[in-house]
Amino acid sequence: MVFLLAVVFLLVSTNGVESRKVRLIDSFEYSATNCRAHSASLTDFGGVGDGITSNTQAFQAAINHLSQFSSDGGSLLFVPPGKWLTGSFNVTSHFTLFLHKDAVLLGSQEENEWPVIEPLPSYGRGRDTEGGRFSSLIFGTNLTDVIITGDNGTIDGQGELWWQKFRAKQLLYTRPYLIEIMHSENIQISNLTLVNSPSWNIHPVYCSNVIVQGITILAPVTSPNTDGINPDSCTNTRIEDCYIVSGDDCIAVKSGWDEYGIAYGMPTKQLVIRRLTCISPFSAVIALGSEMSGGIQDVRAEDIVAINSESGVRIKTAVGRGGFVKDIYVRGFTMHTMKWAFWMTGNYGSHPDENYDPNALPVIENINYRDMVAENVTMAARLEGISGDPFTGVCISNVTIGLAKKPKKLQWNCTDVAGISSGVVPQPCALLPDQGPDKATTCEFPEETLPIESVQVQTCSYRSNVIVQGITILALVTSPNTDGINPALPFSIAKPEFMHVAQTPAQIPELRTVTLSPGTIV
Ligand SMILES: *[C@@H]1O[C@H](CO)[C@@H](O)[C@H](O)[C@H]1NC(C)=O
Ligand SMILES: *[C@@H]1O[C@H](CO)[C@@H](O)[C@H](O)[C@H]1NC(C)=O
Ligand SMILES: *[C@@H]1O[C@H](CO)[C@@H](O)[C@H](O)[C@H]1NC(C)=O
Ligand SMILES: *[C@@H]1O[C@H](CO)[C@@H](O)[C@H](O)[C@H]1NC(C)=O
Ligand SMILES: *[C@@H]1O[C@H](CO)[C@@H](O)[C@H](O)[C@H]1NC(C)=O
Ligand SMILES: *[C@@H]1O[C@H](CO)[C@@H](O)[C@H](O)[C@H]1NC(C)=O
Ligand SMILES: *[C@@H]1O[C@H](CO)[C@@H](O)[C@H](O)[C@H]1NC(C)=O
């Protein structure tokens, strides 16, 4: 629970020297993997939250300033209530970006507010176009200990214009994401609402020790490529307590594309996904691929709710991808209104260019699904391996799939797959033979936990304490709006504009104590 509290003591004496002092204390608590010693507010750097003024420079100036504290206890940048229009900016190490619950970051619609950066080495090109890509709204590379959080503050990508330009093929570069952190470790992204991303929402790539927690992601279900969270060539990632409505996959696990991904050779592994609710009528709840050329291994997903989605877990791959998808464990999945409960696709196609290696076959093995209930499903499973390269070790147990009013005649269509099933309704295909009641199988789910599961968040308190001294404030008691001191929460730097000194002598209350709730102006 985050709260804001400010106590203002105003001690003023009109006749001079003794105890003229204003003491302002401001604090709230939040959960984070690391607390910070230094802080500032965006308004200290000229930020204007009117929804019109660009804050790109203010963000970058604030973060550049705060980066000096990287090796001195770290820093926090507070974004107060308001609408903060901004283009792309870069974060720094040992740094927390904190959005107040009424703070909205608005993604700029001017392309020149988004620098163009190199394509990812494991992709060889941008996802939308050849060549470069627009830097993400919040971008960081080669960092350690980055926290992007808030009291459920909002990041609004204002994606509509980007989607239009993308559909009209008017973009020269790949669309930006909302948050991308590259080549970094110890990342926390939590307690935020992300809406209308131009493309993917959260993209940790070449990272380790990543926690994504308590995130709401909302995009129109028809918006192009608005994937929720895409861990890409990352190790030790934990995604939990998220609610995602998306025009593409809610979670897409990736690791590079064809020959570029094979050459880069960096898998996504040790990934935990739990307590996710997903609505994705045209895509998957959890996709593995299609870019999986660096490999995907040891994914554990549990306590997932799917509503009105195309498929539950979907493996997407193709000849030319190489790489592997192995040791996948999923349990506790509830599905309402689905086209397919299970889907594996070996002919996804989609190559970065013509230079992919047709002999690079993906290895898909040890895929475990258990303890699932689904209702209103059109077709139970479409499992399509690759001819000469079957998907093996598929295990499905304790799954009950209730069918839609007009279900497909063929409920399980399996080609080039091998495995077993147990306690599955309706009856799976012959390639997944039922073990029978006396040999009932429970598909595997690892007992031991992953290192990222033991990373704890602590309670941090944000506190700024400003003493304003030696000020005499005089105004006619009947004069309108002659406020004495107007703190904008929070304030870590005493600024002269906090003081408004009137001309006319008058009485000032001797002591005033005020409790501020968020956004209150005294
Ligand atoms: C997110 O918010 C919830 C509810 O306010 C709180 O319990 C939790 O500790 C917060 N988590 C983080 C990581 O700030
Ligand atoms: C942000 O980081 C990228 C990659 O390092 C760099 O190209 C760009 O110039 C940086 N932007 C700013 C404003 O520092
Ligand atoms: C960032 O890290 C990557 C991977 O370790 C490295 O190849 C690259 O040179 C680093 N970039 C910078 C600017 O340090
Ligand atoms: C955060 O805000 C979103 C959008 O308003 C809302 O749907 C969600 O329930 C909120 N989350 C929390 C933890 O309050
Ligand atoms: C079942 O799914 C169909 C779409 O396939 C949908 O129109 C219908 O509302 C769903 N029924 C229920 C009870 O959810
Ligand atoms: C079967 O799955 C359900 C959840 O769908 C679970 O409650 C139940 O305990 C499972 N049964 C066994 C034998 O594991
Ligand atoms: C079953 O799947 C195969 C391979 O994808 C496809 O060619 C075939 O048309 C499917 N059959 C039915 C009845 O859907």
The residue with tokens 């308004």 is 43
Output the CA angle 183-135-147, nearest 5 degrees.
Answer: 50
On the CB side of 275, CA atoms within 13 Å amount to 10
Who has greater pLDDT, 351 or 10?
A: 351
Residue 505 has pLDDT above 80, yes or no: no
The yes-or-no verdict on residue 504 having pLDDT over 50 is: no
Domain-embedded: residue 427: no
Q: Domain boundary at 447, 462, 477, which?
A: 462
Pairing of strands 458-469, 363-384: unpaired
**Average pLDDT of span 229-254:** 98
In terms of Cα–Cα distance, which of 198, 201, 112, 197 is closest to 148? 201
User: Where does the pLDDT of residue 484 fall: very low under 50, low under 70, confident under 90, or very high at 90 and above?
Assistant: confident
Q: 384 in a domain, yes or no?
A: no
Query: In this predicted model, which residue has the larger pLDDT, 122 or 25?
Result: 122
How far is it between the farthest Cα atoms of the chain?
A: 95
Residue 248 is a catalytic residue: yes
Question: Is the previous residue joined to 426 through a cis bond, with omega within 30 degrees of 0?
Answer: yes
pLDDT of residue 486: 59
In the chain, the number of structural domains is: 2
Local structure of residue 293 (DSSP, 8 states) = T
Q: Which of 44, 248, 371, 416 is catalytic?
A: 248
Q: Give the pLDDT confidence of 79-93 residue by residue, as tens digits.
A: 999 999 999 999 999
What's the average model confidence in pLDDT over 117-125? 97
pLDDT at residue number 472: 67
Of the candidates 462, 479, 501, which is a domain's last residue? Answer: 462
CATH number at residue 91: 2.160.20.10
Q: What is the DSSP string of 67-92?
A: GGGTTTT-EEEEE-SEEEEE--EE--
Residue 16 predicted with pLDDT over 50: no
C-beta atoms surrounding 377 within 10 Å? 25
Considering the domain boundaries, does residue 36 fall inside one? yes
Q: Which domain holds residue 85?
A: 26-377+456-462
Evaluate: CB of 398 within 6 angstroms of ligand 1.
Answer: no
- Please report whether residue 275 resides in a domain: yes
| Ligand with the closest atom to the CA of 190 | 1
Q: How far apart are CA 216 and CA 233, in angstroms?
A: 23
Predicted confidence at residue 359, as pLDDT, reads 97
14, 484 contact by CB (below 8 A):
no
| Co-location of 491 and 368 in the same domain | no
User: Cβ(398) to ligand 6 under 6 A?
Assistant: yes
From 102, 104, 152, 217, mutation site for ligand 4 pocket: most ligand atoms within 8 A of C-beta: 152
* Confidence category of residue 522, pLDDT binned at 50, 70, 90: very low
Q: Are 363 and 254 contained in the same domain?
A: yes
Residue 379 pLDDT greater than 80, yes or no: yes
Determine, yes or no, domain membership for 511: yes
Does a structural domain hold residue 211?
yes
Query: What is the per-residue pLDDT across 389-446, written as a single tens digit (0 to 9) for each?
Result: 999 999 999 999 999 999 999 999 999 999 999 999 999 999 999 998 888 899 999 9
In this structure, the dihedral spanned by the alpha carbons of residues 374, 380, 382 and 383, taken in order and rounded to 10 degrees, is: 80
Domain boundary among 446, 462, 478: 462
Task: Specify whether 59 is located in the same domain as 177.
Answer: yes
226 and 85 housed in the same domain: yes
Among 418, 407, 355, 351, CA closest to 377:
407
pLDDT for the residue 475: 80
- Categorize the per-residue pLDDT at 497 as very low, low, confident or very high, splitting at 50, 70 and 90: very low
Whether 384 is in the pocket of ligand 7, judged by its Cβ within 6 Å, is yes
Q: Cα–Cα distance between 193 and 136 in angstroms, integer?
A: 16
Distance between CA atoms of 261 and 120, rounded to whole angstroms? 10
pLDDT at 483: 75
Q: What is the mean pLDDT of residues 236-263?
A: 98
Residue whose C-alpha is closest to residue 81's, from 418, 488, 459:
488
**Four-CA torsion 208, 214, 218, 222, nearest 10 degrees:** 50
Say yes or no: 489 and 353 in one domain: no
Q: Mean pLDDT for the chain?
A: 89
Q: Extract the tokens encoding 360.
A: 């690079």
Which of the pair, 326 or 10, is modelled with greater confidence? 326
Task: Answer yes or no: is 266 within a domain.
Answer: yes
Query: What pLDDT score does 468 carry?
Result: 53
Q: Is beta strand 103-107 parallel, antiparallel or unpaired with respect to 296-316?
A: unpaired
Instruction: Name the nearest CA neighbour of 433 among 420, 414, 444.
Output: 420
Q: Which ligand is nearest to the CA of 144?
A: 3
Closest ligand (CA of 277) = 4
List all residues 6 or more positions away from 438 whose beta carbon is below 8 Å from its beta carbon.
Answer: none
Q: For the chain, give me the number of helices (H) and strands (E)?
A: 3, 30
End-to-end CA distance of the chain: 24
- Ligand 5 pocket: which of 221, 335, 375, 376 to mutate (most atoms <8 Å of CB)? 376
Residue 99 located in a structural domain: yes
Would the CA dihedral through 256, 141, 157, 147 be positive or negative?
A: positive
Residue ID of nearest Cα to ligand 1 atom 7: 1
- Answer yes or no: is pLDDT of 348 > 70: yes
Q: Which residue has the tokens 């470790």?
A: 185
SS3 392: strand
Residues in the chain: 522
Which numbered atom of ligand 6 lies nearest the CA of 373? 5
pLDDT band at 280 (very low <50, low <70, confident <90, very high): very high
pTM of the model: 0.88
Q: What is the DSSP letter of 100?
A: -
Q: Are residues 356 and 474 in the same domain?
A: no
Task: Tell me the per-residue pLDDT of 196-215, one tens digit each, with 9 for 90 and over.
Answer: 999 999 999 999 999 999 99
Predicted local confidence at residue 463, as pLDDT: 73
Q: Are residues 371 and 477 in the same domain?
A: no
CA of 1 to the centre of ligand 1 (A): 6
Asked if 182 and 206 touch (Cβ cutoff 8 Å), the reply is yes
pLDDT at 117: 98
Which residues, other chains included, contact 15 with Cβ-Cβ below 8 Å and sequence gap of 6+? none
If you ran DSSP here, which 8-state letter would residue 46 be given?
T
